[in-house]
Structure 1
Amino acid sequence: MAFEEIEIKLRLAPRDAGRFRRARLLQEYKTAKAGWAHLVSTYFDTPDLALRTRKVALRIRRMGDALEQTLKAPKGLQGGLQSRTEWNAVVENEEKPDLSSIGDPKLRKWLRKRTKENGLTAVFTTDIKRTTWQILYNGTRLEVALDEGQILAGDRSRPISEVELELVEGDATDLVAFAQLLIEKYPLVLDRDSKAARGYALFADTEVSPVKAKDPDLTTDMTVWNAFSASVQSGVLQVMSNAPVVMLRDDPEGVHQARIGVRRIRAALSLFKNALDADKVAVAREDLKWLQQALGPARDFDVFLEEAVEPLIKAMPDEACLTRLKEVSETARKNGYDMAVDALSSSRYSAVLLRLEAWLLSPEHAAADVPLAQFAKRSLDKRLKAVLKSCGKHPARLPEADLHPLRIEFKKLRYAASFFQSLYGGKKKFAYIKQLAALQDCLGGLNDALVQGELMEALPLGKAADAARAKALMTGWHAARTQQGLSGLDKEWAAFKAFKPFWR
């Protein structure tokens, strides 16, 4: 039997499980006594992990004397709200999945072909003690499950402590609303990794890695609202996918990609703002401003150390003032990561993303009558017009005060082009977007000089003479980088103007 599973996952520290089990909200809205079960699930795949590659999870679960096989295939991901198609069947053999019970003919055929070639093998097991509550909230039936246990793969193990909220019957907006109530009262953090995803990572003995943005897959028959929703969802997924990388503190790309995710959501708000409720846009902007600022110092000092301080020390190893600059910058970076980790572990972070989720589940129809292709062309024309107005014939000759706004206009056009590119055919659109990135890069040194100059003013650089020397060296470094970027700006601008806008 197949059905759609819609759920929200929330991470919970093991020490807080007892408190959650006694949650007043659960007692207030439960319709029956809490249930309890011991679940041992074995996950299967081919030796080359073909199911994992296709994001399919196949397991056999033992609960007492009963055996149930489940296959889950992705239907869609909406930020923290996860939607999958699921097939369940009673089986008799705990060690051999029954592929005949899978309802989707194409998926069943694909599985049989893959398993005929390579066979299926057990890759990992989850051993879970589950407490469940049946909830009736605002007329919607939900199931809340507290899972405590571990994932086992060979001689490796990883603890599990999480809460799952699943829609049983009713409105998904009530599912999100109840999750919002829980995170206001208890130390829960929105998560997106399934047990299967964590099991595979344990099996492969791999850590999480940074995830780059994926442009929304828009079609011309979509409404403007649906295009906005897809654009925001792509940003939310990028933030949530990179949050675990930030927690590890050892890969600068994690916080970089998380911030790009936030910027993409903010760019979507700006791009679609005239078709949206102004009050909701204002709330979302304030939420995202907080998150961007929380992630900012970690990223700023990553860039400062990697692209300025360390190259300067390599060029001038005898400058003691630079050694001091590196020491205090590393301390500031650690503090920045503390701030980022605290933010991503907070209830406010989860509340920000769930507020976006709740908004996306309540479509606004004001702009639905405007064809998406028309809206996209109008928006791209507007962004391009702003770029042309800001640039003039020779952008490299503009005063510095005008170059900062120009970089922002390049970025706005690039994001708009990325969001809408799936509406248009051909490959020239990718070259167009790549050229916009090159124009942004030309002005990157200018922006770094501005940001890093502010960073240095706040650092304890020691004696006045040492501080002055370090600032002078850094000023010279940035001047050289800025000039290098500006020297190619007119050339890159000429190359860009040679492109015909791909939406015309």
Structure 2
Amino acid sequence: MPMEIELKLRLSPTQARRLQAQPALSGHTPQKYRLRNTYFDTPDFELRSRGIALRLRQKGWAVWLMTVKCGASGAGGLAQRSEWEAPTKPGVFDFSIVTDDALRVFLESQHSRLQPVFSTDFTRTAWKLSLAGSVIELAFDRGRINAPGIGGTSASVSKPLCELEIELIEGESPDALFDLAIELATELHLHPEIFSKAERGYALADGTLANPVKAFASNVNKEMSPVDAFRSVALSCLAHLQRNEAGAVAGENPEYVHQARVAIRRLRSAFRLFAPVLAVDFVNVYSPRWRELAGGLGSARDWDVFLAETLAPLEEAFPEDADLAVLRARGETTQAKAQAAAGVTLKQKAYSQLLLAFTAALFRVGPPTIEAQGKASGMGLRKFATRRLQKRAEMIELLVSEHAKMNAESRHELRIAFKKLRYALEFFAPVLPQKPLAAYQTSLAKIQNLLGTLNDQVTASSLIKEMHPKGERDLVTRGWIAGRTQLLIKALSSELRKFVAGKKPWS
């Protein structure tokens, strides 16, 4: 099955003007030609729902090509997709080139329903380079994506296109693609692009911004080594982050920032979970960088929760309270600043470079030493998962034994321990017995919700103090928080006893 392996990188027109002067392209003469592409789908977007892109391409004035791609763009800008392409004539689809039997039968069954959905029109400047035993093509595309408008009834819409594609022409490893991209990114601001041209075209055609995306289900399997499992988990976390970054930058919905923070938190948890089988230098370099980025997203989520879950019920109960009105005004001002700061962080060159360098490192990471490599190779993923999950469960049991003497700080420590266990269970889920896992996760989720709400009360108190440091106001709010905290602590005690007594799904 033909496979397309390429890096897709976004850049600004200003940066694009500096591209040809880069040392990596010195002495190489590019080809330049125009590409007009029309993408086709059924009226109900059946191809889109199956992750299929179908286009007819006019290269220059005389050459026509039909292309079928299957699979989504990957994290960090790296896409590895099945692709079939062959010469054709205008308006002619010949699906005999598709070697995947099920896909070919499906496309042939939809032939009569196909219609144009959107188009791209751009000039491509392409260099062919030989690097590290591989042949790659660096293509700079500049033009526009065009769509007829929602439902075909409104005016046509258009969006600029300015990006690099670095494709592996000969070779098997993506290393050469990353090496060139990282070299170019030292001088240019190149951002790994997770959305393909087809995905952006569809979004333009139906007038929608992608909804906030939650974490993806784990794709690990029992045949993977622990290191391979970490790579799969980390790439999934990167995809989770990147699917939310555009919305976080736009700042219209706080859920995008929240999901971006969750993605980074899950990735950092994976570092700790898989640390025994990862190269020490890899962990020492990248774990601190992701921690720093998490801090750069700031306190936006804290303000979202305070305004929506702590303040809103109080406003409903006491609509005339002047202190609450002051808290609302100050809170919304600070929330807007925090949201803007998070968006700025995700627009920085340092973030783009981290995505690129970390994705490259993921494909090269191995065990910490030769001795550890031998130990890891002899340990299946199920055994590794059992050991790591048991260690996390034992930490929770130790903390729970001290619950009667807990304060806000120690409950926060317990919350973090439960969160680590939850992420570990989600990462290892495909290699664990499913029925006991579901029951265990349900019990865990109840406790995590209680601990999370308790933590929100502590955070709310801190935010109120930040706005009114002398404590001369907000008696209603403080009383509400204190009373709710006591009720939550009582409910938590009961759930913790049930959880500790429950059977572990990895036993």
TM-score normalised by structure 2 residue count? 0.91
C-alpha distance 19-446 of structure 1, shift in aligned 2 (>3 A): same
CA RMSD of aligned residues (A): 2.1
| Distance in 2 (alpha carbons) for counterparts of 1:130 and 1:345 | 26
- 1:406 aligned residue: 414
Q: Percent same amino acid at aligned positions?
A: 36
Give runs of aligned pairs for residues 51-450 of structure 1, distance below 5 A: 51-63=47-59, 64-74=61-71, 77-92=74-89, 94-115=90-111, 119-154=113-148, 155-170=156-171, 171-365=173-367, 366=373, 367-392=376-401, 395=403, 398-450=406-458
- 2:152 aligned residue: none
User: Is the 8 Å Cα contact of residues 212 and 247 (structure 2) preserved in structure 1?
Assistant: yes
| Distance in 2 (alpha carbons) for counterparts of 1:343 and 1:23 | 28
User: Is the 8 Å Cα contact of residues 24 and 184 (structure 2) preserved in structure 1?
Assistant: no
When structure 1 is superposed on structure 2, of 64-73 and 478-487 the one drifting more is 478-487
- 1:45 aligned residue: 41
1:121-158, CA deviations, whole angstroms, 9 ceiling, x for partnerless residues? 11111111111222334443322222111111111222
Deviation, 1:331, is 2.1
| Number of residue-to-residue matches in the alignment | 491
C-alpha distance 348-501 of structure 1, shift in aligned 2 (>3 A): same
| Distance in 2 (alpha carbons) for counterparts of 1:59 and 1:412 | 44
User: Is the 8 Å Cα contact of residues 72 and 85 (structure 1) preserved in structure 2?
Assistant: yes
| Distance in 2 (alpha carbons) for counterparts of 1:16 and 1:250 | 27
User: Is the 8 Å Cα contact of residues 143 and 166 (structure 1) preserved in structure 2?
Assistant: yes
When structure 1 is superposed on structure 2, of 149-158 and 233-242 the one drifting more is 149-158
Structure 1 residue 25 corresponds to structure 2 residue 23: yes
| Distance in 1 (alpha carbons) for counterparts of 2:478 and 2:284 | 37
C-alpha distance 363-65 of structure 1, shift in aligned 2 (>3 A): same
| Distance in 1 (alpha carbons) for counterparts of 2:408 and 2:320 | 33
| Distance in 2 (alpha carbons) for counterparts of 1:318 and 1:76 | 52
- 1:491 aligned residue: 494
AA matched with 1:482:
T
1:34-89, CA deviations, whole angstroms, 9 ceiling, x for partnerless residues? 22111110111112211111111010100121100111112883543211111011
- 1:475 aligned residue: 478
Structure 1 residue runs of 5 or longer lacking an equivalent are: none
| Distance in 2 (alpha carbons) for counterparts of 1:113 and 1:207 | 30
C-alpha distance 18-431 of structure 1, shift in aligned 2 (>3 A): same
TM-score normalised by structure 1 residue count? 0.92
User: Is the 8 Å Cα contact of residues 383 and 409 (structure 1) preserved in structure 2?
Assistant: yes
| Distance in 1 (alpha carbons) for counterparts of 2:120 and 2:46 | 20
C-alpha distance 401-156 of structure 1, shift in aligned 2 (>3 A): closer
AA matched with 1:97:
F
| Distance in 2 (alpha carbons) for counterparts of 1:399 and 1:206 | 46
Deviation, 1:501, is 1.1
Structure 1 residue 4 corresponds to structure 2 residue 3: yes
1:88-127, CA deviations, whole angstroms, 9 ceiling, x for partnerless residues? 11001x22322122222221012223446xx211111111
| Distance in 1 (alpha carbons) for counterparts of 2:6 and 2:84 | 16
